[in-house]
Chains A and B, each alone.
Chain A
Amino acid sequence: MAVVSHTPAARQRVERLDRIWRERPGLVGWLTTTDHKRIGLMYLFASLAFFAAGGVEALLVRTQLAAPQQGVLSPAAYNQVFTVHGVTMIFLFVIPISTGAFGNYLLPLMIGARDMAFPRLNALSFWIYAASGIFIYTGLALGHGPDAGWFDYVPLASRQFSPDSGIDFYALGLIFTGISSTAAAVNFVVTIFKLRAPGMSLNRMPLFCYAFLAVSFALIFALPALTLALVLLELDRRLGFHFFDVAQGGDPLLWQHLFWIFGHPEVYIIILPAFGIATSIIPTFTHRRMVAFPLVALAEILVVFIGFGVWVHHMFAVGLPTAITIAFAAASLVIVIPSAIQLFAWITTIVAGTPDFKTPLLWIVGFIVFFTIGGLTGIMFAAIPFDQQLTDSYFVVAHFHFVIFGAAVFPILGGLYYWFPKVSGRMYHERAGKISFWVTFAGTLATFFPMHILGLLGMPRRVYTYHHGLGWGGLNLLETLGSYLLAGGLLLVAANLAISLRRGPPAGDDPWGGDTLEWATTSPPPPYNYAVIPKVTSAYAMWDREDRVEDARRLERGELVLEQGHETPASTVLDAEWDEVLRMPPSSWAPLALAAAVSGIFAMLLLGHVLTATAFVALAAVVLLRWHSVEPQDT
């Protein structure tokens, strides 16, 4: 329902908002923008580009493995390709598209804010992310891609066994990306706690926002472990330290602990935004509220907490003392409970509601099926002897692709369809959407399901080839054909959305009868999101028709319009009572300039020019001074 105003006073207010929030035109507008929606779109297209690159890498891997003893890729190329595939999909695709694109675009809309809490920091997050992605890919393009796996175990990744610069591209590149993720996470936490619309107390906050709150906390606490590990690795590699060197009293297991202290919460960082998307799509298309809302909200938060206590289950074959492995196996079973709660709540909501199986809901059904499969095989890995038998085999590859591709990416694709009308103002093609789902669903099953069996038949992970006579050829061929089908399904999604972007019929503000606030504004939303700051009385704000009608009346009265400046309201953390008015910064070159300076630092560190790197640090400091010296101005 649009806030279409008919009174001259209201129209005047909207015109004033249009003027105050107007973006700079053309390319300059995009390069200097602080608008969360524009930043979200840039995140979307950049992460989709990396998704395409990671997908091509996956297809190369599958083509090489289609039959025994093939030579599509050399062993050296294969190792770089599978390593960069993992790094890309995790760090440059799933996290940026879920937090960067979906979170950025939707979160302020869902809580009724006009932007993120720190708009320039938001822009900086994006530019740093884009630069770090290019940084990592520069290594691959030069033939020096990282080649020790995304987990990068030492001593293989040490200077002695990997003298090439590939590992340095990896280590510096991930420290680099970490800056972006940390900044984004801090921004989300503050935005969620402080910028919610008046009345949106925490218990009235959409589950989508709970998921992003949990993810943001997970990022803030998990990333330091990774950054520390990477810094220690670079100290070992570049300056001859011995953190991981057994001969000098170091320990390679230190790397594994630090990596997985980050790496397991990372799994929930990947999957939780998908949960958030699922809890947005399900109520809309089943026409009912989520079953057990408080339990689901609690589960989303709880999973992150427990997620920090299970990392050793990645190390059951290492030979740690039994008491330790048993304790971590128990924790790994406990973490099943929050997921079981959510899974059962989603399914029950679908059964109890009147589901309309349109394309977005189909992706969520696919997600539920794949998450069930991936979750069940995940439980098996908490059975220590089974883990020790099947870890590092293709069974694990099957397991985590069901979780990461089936359960994390399917909702992302469903979300693309779901919010496409909001973002573009147009409808996608429903029939083509359904076909794209079924093709992708079949492709996913054909690609990843046989991997369970290959693992059971003894095929290890990360092998560039395998021998005849082991009985692995047929299933591998099936997987490879499945991966082509899967790629075809994804291309159908892309084609549907690309064509609909130009030719789709107008969508209107609320084509689905959605439950959350973003459907209250126009499609696409104006730069200021809402002409009047909405007031909220439940977690399904858009279904409270009275409230939305009242919003329109308040616009006419000029109440909560904030048309005097570039402003958004802040509210109290728990109850979301009116707190203060925040002046939001206008567009700025500073984030892009700072990202460029930071890129210079990392490029020079890679090349070993420490002095030049220091010069870039100074440059970054100058940019920061400038950033902070310009106060937000009202226009």
Chain B
Amino acid sequence: MRIGAASAFALAIALAGCGAGQSTLDPQSRPAREIADLWWWMLAAAAFVLIGALVLLFIGWRRRDRPGLPVVGNLGERGFNGLVVLFGMIVPLLALVVVFVAANFSVASVTEAPAPGSTAMTIVITGNQWFWDIHYPGSGAVTANEIHIPVGTRVDAVLRSADVIHSFWVPQLNRKADMVPGHPNRILLYADHPGVYRGQCAEFCGLQHANMATTVIAQPPAQFRAWLANAARPRIAPTGAQQQRGEQVFLSERCASCHTIRGTSARGTIGPDLTHLASRSTLAALTIPNTRHELERWIADPQKIKPGAKMPSVDLSTSERDAVVAYLETLR
């Protein structure tokens, strides 16, 4: 329902690259679509008002040497008062009532948090400085930053914060909702089609607010079930010698005090769960891709890549680091 599609504004949006993955104008679910439609309607109304104001100013300029209004002439004080009451009060009031009802009753009923128990599935997303923890209650699955959901399924996402206020925002799927300590929020996650939908923390949360992104990966149900089963199990013990040494280094160095790898003694909760790190495509809340090279760089000097992140540079020899990287790459 792209009313304003003809306008230069919409063109500018198209040129700027619609569908870059985080655009509110490329909705991929009913809530996001209703909000986008609401926007296009409001844009049309707003454009109408703005053009009206510009036309009046233009008339004022054209008639700058002639007193009085066009057509009606000089109305006198009462006439002008009446005109202002009509166009400054009555007409806007009617328009505002329409906006109010359409937005806050009609659209809001679609975007509001799902009624408890009304969804097939619940997940818990916890905002941390500066990454996201994702728990799948009932299955034991835990992951970070990359949220898997089954496509075409209503998912109730419970939003929590472990430290400061964050805001969970995946624009293509739904509105945002804040993660306020002590005030758990809920939001509906639903995707029409399989795909990867990018999101980003929307409430300023400190030094690395800019690098606190997330993706929602909507998968066909069977694929999702397979992913969930894998994510729920502990790590498979490494078999190669280098990988085994990597696990030892991981557990004996400071890594284990902050990270959890299920199936080992690593039980830290400061950083993200790494049990299936190798199955994720990004590192550090989408700051860098999860490749061998980037993983090495990250472990060598996280502060260079994400200044202020809670992860310190751990003093590892080159061979130790290689071993840890080799080990982490087995965590699929």
Contact = CB atoms under 8 A, between A and B. Distances in A.
Interface in A455-485: 456-467, 469-472, 474-475
A347 to B, nearest CB: 5
B60 A330 contact: no
Interface in B63-86: 63-70, 74-75, 80-81, 83-85
A156 B53 contact: no
Contacts of A471: 16-18, 20, 23
Interface string A380-415: 101111101111110000000000000000000000
Contact of A246 (B49, B87, B96, B182): B182
A220 interface: no
A388 B176 contact: yes
B12 interface: yes
Q: Which of A76, A287, A386, A474 has the most CB of B within 10 A?
A: A386
Contact of B16 (A79, A325, A383, A453): A453
A439 interface: no
Contacts of B88: 292, 295, 337, 340-345
A347 B308 contact: no
Interface in A343-364: 343-345, 347-348, 350-357
B59 interface: yes
Contacts of A467: 213, 286
A376 interface: yes
A149 B204 contact: yes
Contacts of B3: none
A383 B107 contact: yes
B316 interface: no
Given A317-B177, A372-B50, A458-B23, A292 B80 contact: yes
A369 B67 contact: no
Nearest to A157: B164
A246 to B, nearest CB: 4
Interface residues of B, number: 95
Contacts of A463: 200, 209-210
Interface in A418-472: 450, 453-454, 456-467, 469-472
B245 interface: no
Interface in B189-214: 198, 200-211, 213
A504 interface: no
B140 interface: no
B108 A462 contact: no
Contacts of B25: 456-457
A413 to B, nearest CB: 18
A416 interface: no
B216 to A, nearest CB: 13
Contact of A352 (B68, B89, B169): B68
B227 interface: no
A207 B176 CA distance: 42
Interface stretch (B34-42, B141-149, B253-261, B323-331): B34-42
Given A76-B307, A383-B99, A457 B24 contact: yes
A322 B89 contact: no
Contacts of B74: 352
A471 B53 CA distance: 32
A458 B9 CA distance: 16
B204 to A, nearest CB: 4
B103 A344 contact: no
B98 to A, nearest CB: 10
Contact of A389 (B9, B81, B165, B171): B171
A480 B198 CA distance: 25
Given A347-B53, A368-B53, A392-B202, A352 B80 contact: yes
B314 interface: no
B92 interface: yes
A336 B100 contact: no
A384 B169 contact: no
A75 to B, nearest CB: 5
Nearest to B39: A386
A557 B232 CA distance: 98
A470 B100 CA distance: 33
Interface in B97-117: 99-100, 102-104, 107-108, 110-113
Interface string B163-184: 1110101010001111011110
A253 interface: yes
B50 A392 contact: no
Nearest to B179: A319
A450 B17 CA distance: 13
A325 to B, nearest CB: 8
A148 interface: yes
B210 A470 contact: no
Contacts of A350: 56-57, 60
A149 B204 CA distance: 8
Given A75-B207, A292-B81, A337 B103 contact: no
A351 B49 contact: no
Contacts, number: 284
A373 B35 CA distance: 20
Contacts of B75: 352
Q: Which of A149, A330, A377, A384 has the most CB of B within 10 A?
A: A384
A322 B186 CA distance: 13
Contacts of B111: 385, 388
Contacts of B35: 385-386, 389
Contacts of B152: none
A470 B112 CA distance: 27
Contacts of A450: 12
B99 to A, nearest CB: 6
Contacts of A344: 83-84, 87-88
Contact of A351 (B60, B100, B102): B60
A467 B20 CA distance: 11
Contacts of B182: 246, 251-252
B93 interface: yes
A252 to B, nearest CB: 6
B18 to A, nearest CB: 8
Contacts of B180: 252-253, 318-319
Contacts of B64: 354-357
B39 A372 contact: no
A12 B145 CA distance: 83
A257 interface: no
A240 B228 CA distance: 44
Nearest to A149: B204
Nearest to A463: B210
B21 interface: yes
Contacts of A287: 67
B229 interface: no
B176 A317 contact: yes
A457 B20 contact: yes
A333 interface: yes
B65 to A, nearest CB: 6
Interface string A575-613: 000000000000000000000000000000000000000
A611 B108 CA distance: 55
B306 to A, nearest CB: 9
A365 interface: yes
B286 to A, nearest CB: 8
A288 interface: yes
Given A373-B50, A389-B175, A379 B108 contact: no
B100 A347 contact: no
Given A291-B83, A319-B177, A319-B178, 10 more contacts: A76-B308, A149-B204, A329-B103, A347-B60, A348-B69, A350-B57, A389-B32, A391-B202, A463-B200, A463-B209
User: Which 10 A-B residue pairs are closest in the complex by CB-CB distance?
Assistant: A471-B17, A383-B103, A458-B22, A246-B182, A463-B210, A471-B20, A388-B175, A341-B88, A344-B88, A319-B185
28 contacts: A75-B207, A153-B204, A161-B129, A292-B83, A317-B202, A333-B96, A350-B60, A351-B57, A352-B80, A354-B66, A372-B50, A382-B103, A385-B31, A386-B35, A386-B39, A389-B24, A389-B35, A392-B202, A393-B202, A456-B25, A456-B39, A457-B18, A459-B22, A460-B202, A461-B202, A464-B210, A472-B20, A474-B16
